[in-house]
Structure 1
Amino acid sequence: MAETFVDLGFVTAPSGVLVLGMASWIDYWRELGQPLPDRARKAATFGGGHLRDWLCEAIAVPVADDQPLRVRASTAPSPFDEEPTIATLEISLGIQWPETADRVVPIRLGDLPVDRCGMVLGDASGLDAWTGMNDEPADGLADVTYWGRYEDDAHAQFGGERIAQYGVDGPRGWPDLPLAEAAARAAELTGWCDRLHGKGLMVSIDKHTDFNRFRRAGWQHPLHVGAIEVGGCQVLGIEWDQGDHSIRHRGERDAGQVYPVTLEADEAGGMVMRWTIPPYGLDNEDE
């Protein structure tokens, strides 16, 4: 039976090179010597390929530099909660499949694990400006959220709006606070809980880095997909449900949990990149 795809949005790649990489490590490429754009450009020169250095991994491919690139996905039910999760991620590259190449045989570029912190799809040069979870936000703002056993008591004492997310109520808190105010608010909550309860309240400060902006952008999407601008380019971020990740993808590459990325021809003869995550089988579960 043919897969049914849903549109996730589009990305732009004015450099002519597109990257699918692990969100945890996008900002680390420049710490390891050669910047990501240089590595990706070299791989794209040869038609695309897999990049790996330390814990950083990505796939880079050549794409059209003058048009939006459509991103779609097919889904399968998660073994964790039966909610839909991505089974095949497909990106239209904006270029035609070579007339001399066999359309039936996919070209394998490598494989990627599902990063616990999500995946990022965007322009290789634009992603060189990516700010990771430990960086400082360009807008000087952060979100403060709290949850746990004493959440209702904290709400009665301090307030805070419910931050709705797809399918769940989400934590309470205050979005878009200046950093100093966010730190003071979080310290106030933590100090209150320590004095009265000792533990039972989780408090988080999420600075508006690109890492946290893409997660926030996907709060209302059933597949946790969000679009943000990075380095003047539209980027898509895909976050994985933590329960689903622990069931299907835990251990990532060290545990052999990696999935193939291929170049293929679509029905119209256009070139697409596909990342295929096979269905979970209970018979494959570790004993």
Structure 2
Amino acid sequence: MFLGEVTCPSGELVLMDGGYLELWSGDRSPDEVDGTKDLPACDFEIVGPDAEAAARSFGRQSGRMLYDIPHHGTDEFWRLFDQHCREHTYDASLCPFPRRISHRDRVRRAITDGDPDFLITGVPVVPVGGVPTDRPLAVTVVRGEWGWSQVRIGLREDVAVATRRLGSIGVDYARFVFADADALGSWVHNYPVDGLADVVFWGRDEEQVAAEFGAQRTGTPGDDSYGWLNLPVRDAYARAVALNDRKNATPDRKFAFDFRPHSHHWQVMASVRASENEAATIEIGGAQIMMAMTSVGDGFFPVDLDVNAAGAPVAVRITVAGDE
């Protein structure tokens, strides 16, 4: 089943949890991003003659790069690594970076070093290099018993002769994003690009809440909740605060609500909710980016790369459920 197409002008594709794009730093240090700047951390590289062996056996992250080690735990982390090297007689050590490594640079480093994935605040992200830059890439799915069994991103019209496992995508927000690594530098996750926002609510007691607040159904395709659309962001925020106050004051009244600024994330998710297959694309930074619900919720989703006889990537395959 065809979901849509993505493009990858940089030749480097990022596969990750779309909900975590609020943490994406682009070419900036993660310390400069709202979602992570209040979580001080350090990045390290394992160096020395036995760096590769020490990294493999230490097993904390893929490859020699160790990202997002919390400041409060660095002394203990350093002690554990030194102890590990002494026990295995490895000539290796940790070298801290003076400035944290941007997420865009993590993609480059992982692809150059052949690492299967890297972490963003502990969540695995899978990068793929050697992606065609001159044409759209079709995204298709295979339906299983409980949802998709596999997602496939076609890269080349060629015969695959071998497959190798990359990493696994860690998902906590029930959605994938497939995106060009450079284009993500233009992504706006939480802030309205037009100064507007929506507030919607739903649940067991939604009609009572709607009557109290004078709300109507929005009529939004795929998401016909009660609420208000296209409000100035300050007005929308005030209504969200009022709903939250009501929820806290009367916990026996059951409903949930969303404050949805008109960000890129909001735009594509509106299209996802309206889509029969829960997938949609958006053009950001000169590339077509796809957001797609996993169909099975959260989890860790293994990624395989099919290659041709010359070793060039033919397709990326994400295993969603084990019933294909």
Aligned length: 247
Question: 1:238 is matched with which residue?
Answer: 292
Q: What does the per-residue CA deviation read over 1:100-154, in whole Å, with 9 as the maximum and x for residues that have no partner?
A: xxx443121122233334111010011123233xx32222221110123332233
Q: Which residue of 1 aligns with 2:304?
A: 262
Q: 2:282 & 2:293 partners in 1: Cα distance?
A: 13
CA contact (8 A) 1:215 1:239 kept: no
The CA deviation at 1:38 is 2.0
TM norm structure 2: 0.66
- The match for 2:44 is none
Q: Pick one of 18, 23, 33 that aligns with 1:23.
A: 18
Any idea what the Cα deviations from partners look like across 1:18-58, whole Å, max 9, x if unmatched? 11112232342421532222222333346773222432322
- The equivalent of 1:100 in structure 2 is none
1:71 alignment counterpart: 139
Does residue 276 of the first structure (1) align with residue 319 of the second (2)? yes
The verdict on how the C-alpha distance between 1:48 and 1:275 changes in structure 2, with shifts beyond 3 A counting, is farther
Give the letter for the 1:138 counterpart. V
The structure whose Rg is larger is: 2
TM-score by length of 1: 0.73
Letter paired with 1:229: E
Tell me, what secondary structure is at the counterpart of 1:77? Answer: coil
Partners of 2:113 and 2:135 in 1: how far apart? 22
Instruction: Quote the residue 1:284 is aligned against.
Output: none
Identical positions, percent: 28
| Inter-partner Cα distance in structure 2 for 1:60 and 1:107 | 14
Structure 2 unaligned segments of length 5 or more: list them.
31-67, 69-99
- Give runs of aligned pairs for residues 125-144 of structure 1, distance below 5 A: 125-132=182-189, 135-144=190-199
Select which of 117, 129, 152 maps to 1:50. Answer: 117
Matched, 1:159 2:209: no
Question: How far is the alpha carbon of 1:96 from its aligned partner?
Answer: 5.2
Aligned mate of 2:173, from 106, 116, 127:
116
Q: Letter of the 1:150 partner, please give it.
A: D
CA distance in 1 between partners of 2:252 and 2:301 (Å): 43
Q: What residue identity is the alignment partner of 1:119? A: F
The verdict on how the C-alpha distance between 1:181 and 1:276 changes in structure 2, with shifts beyond 3 A counting, is same
SS in 2 for 1:113: strand
Mean Cα displacement is larger for which, 116-125 or 53-62?
53-62
| Secondary structure of the corresponding residue to residue 116 of structure 1 | coil
Question: Letter of the aligned partner of 1:63 in structure 2?
Answer: V
> Within 1, Cα distance between the matches of 2:191 and 2:232?
12
Match of 2:19, SS? coil
Q: Report the counterpart of residue 79 of structure 2 in structure 1.
A: none
Give runs of aligned pairs for residues 28-43 of structure 1, distance below 5 A. 28-30=23-25, 31=30, 33-43=100-110
Distance in 2 of aligned mates of 1:21 and 1:150: 35
Shift of 1:8: 0.7
1:186 aligns with 2:225: no
- Please point out which of 111, 126, 130 is paired with 1:59: 126
CA distance in structure 2 between the partners assigned to 1:27 and 1:144 by the alignment: 19
1:107 matched to 2:154? The reply is: no
Cα shift readout 1:38-96 (whole Å, capped 9, x = no counterpart): 22233334677322243232211121112111111111132xxxxxx221111112475
| Cα contact 1:86–1:223 (8 A) shared by 2 | no
How far 1:270 moved relative to its partner?
A: 7.3
Of 151, 164, 167 in structure 2, the residue corresponding to residue 89 of structure 1 is 151
Give 1:272's aligned amino acid: A
Q: What is the letter of the counterpart of residue 216 of structure 2?
A: G
Structure 1 unmatched ranges of 5 or more: 1-5, 79-84, 98-102, 253-257, 281-287
1:179 Cα offset (Å):
0.3
